[in-house]
Amino acid sequence: MSLKNKIISIENLEKKFSNGNKILKNINLDIYESEFLIIAGENGSGKTVLMKHLNGLFKPTSGRIFFKDLEITGNEKFFRQKIGLVFQYSDAQIVGQTVIDDIKFGPENLGLPDDEIEKRVKSALLHTGLKNLASNTALTLSGGEKKRLGIAGVLAMDPDVIIFDEPFAGLDLHGVKTVLSTIINLNKKGHTIILITHDLEKCMAHADRIVIMKKGEITKTGTPDSILDHLESNNIKKPFGTKRKAETMTWMK
């Protein structure tokens, strides 16, 4: 993948909450079309706070965020369609009784025509492997299936960029494999992927670039190979046995 066309630009972003804590400092980051970007950092480093700025859930204290040439401030609703966020806690994202109701919710809220909603729901079911569970009660799904439902709901909004906040947290091996392969396939389909994690083991081999955060700042950006020696000093666990990135994922095969 060539890092050619910028899709998101973050310029001098700072976030100070009303309690006076400055959680993000001097964040400058360009994200490119169709890239697979991982944001790694220890707990509390500001990853989730940063991502919530990208779809308008938090407002910058200072600094600017752009999607292509459009600034987020004042365009939050549009950003939320273009940049989908799959939350860490899948239950919090479920709004529909059944799988299909849940996926429909977003496009229905956009006021789209029925045939367009149906098309989007079908496509979302297909790309998340949930077709056979379409009429199941959403809350009875397994952890991995709920995560894929969260992805399906975001997909139905037809976003260019999809952010995954700790997508593997709490999943068993099967859940991890199905969610990871869903994410990889969405990237192959052309979606820009931003994957937030404190645990690189499962996903590092697939990233084009990795951004490391510590205490609200970006401390390093580079290819998976080039950041390996910077993990421990940033309190991130080095993937077991990693010498080259291709070795990381052998357990997946």
Ligand X SMILES: Nc1ncnc2c1ncn2[C@@H]1O[C@H](COP(=O)(O)OP(=O)(O)O)[C@@H](O)[C@H]1O
Give residues in contact with ligand X (CB under 6 A): 17, 19, 21, 23, 41, 43-49
Tell me whether strands 217-222 and 62-67 are parallel, antiparallel or unpaired. unpaired
> Which of 211, 204, 208, 190 is closest to 252 using CA atoms?
204
Q: Work out how close the CB of 143 gets to ligand X at its nearest, in angstroms, rounded to a whole number.
A: 19
Min dist CB 231 to ligand X, Å, is 15
Query: Strand pairing of 192-197 and 62-67?
Result: unpaired
- The DSSP secondary-structure symbol of 89 reads S
The least distance separating ligand X from the CB of residue 46, rounded to whole angstroms, comes to 4
In this complex, which beta carbon is closest to ligand X, that of residue 25 or of residue 177?
A: 25
Give the residue nearest to ligand X (CB): 48
Residue 220, C-beta contacts closer than 8 angstroms, at least 6 positions apart? 211, 212, 227, 230, 234
- Which partner, ligand X, Mg ion, none, binds residue 19 by CB below 5 to 8 Å per kind? ligand X
CA dihedral for 154, 156, 157, 161, sign (positive or negative):
positive
Residue 128 in the binding site for Mg ion (CB under 5 A):
no
- CB 44 to ligand X: min, Å: 4
Among ligand X, Mg ion, none, the one that 44 touches (CB under a kind-dependent 5 to 8 A) is: ligand X
Instruction: Please state the closest distance from residue 67 (CB atom) to ligand X, in A.
Output: 21
Q: Which helix (H) or strand (E) holds 178?
A: helix 173-188
Residue 4 β-bridge partners: none
Write out the binding residues for Mg ion, residues 29-48 only, by CB under 5 A: 47-48
Give the residue among 23, 153, 37 at the shortest CA–CA distance from 87. 153
The reply on whether position 197 binds Mg ion by CB under 5 A is: no
Q: Which listed option, ligand X, Mg ion, none, makes contact with residue 150 (CB within 5 to 8 Å by class)?
A: none
Residues 47-66 binding Mg ion (CB under 5 A) are 47-48
Which residues contribute to the site for Mg ion (CB under 5 A)? 47-48
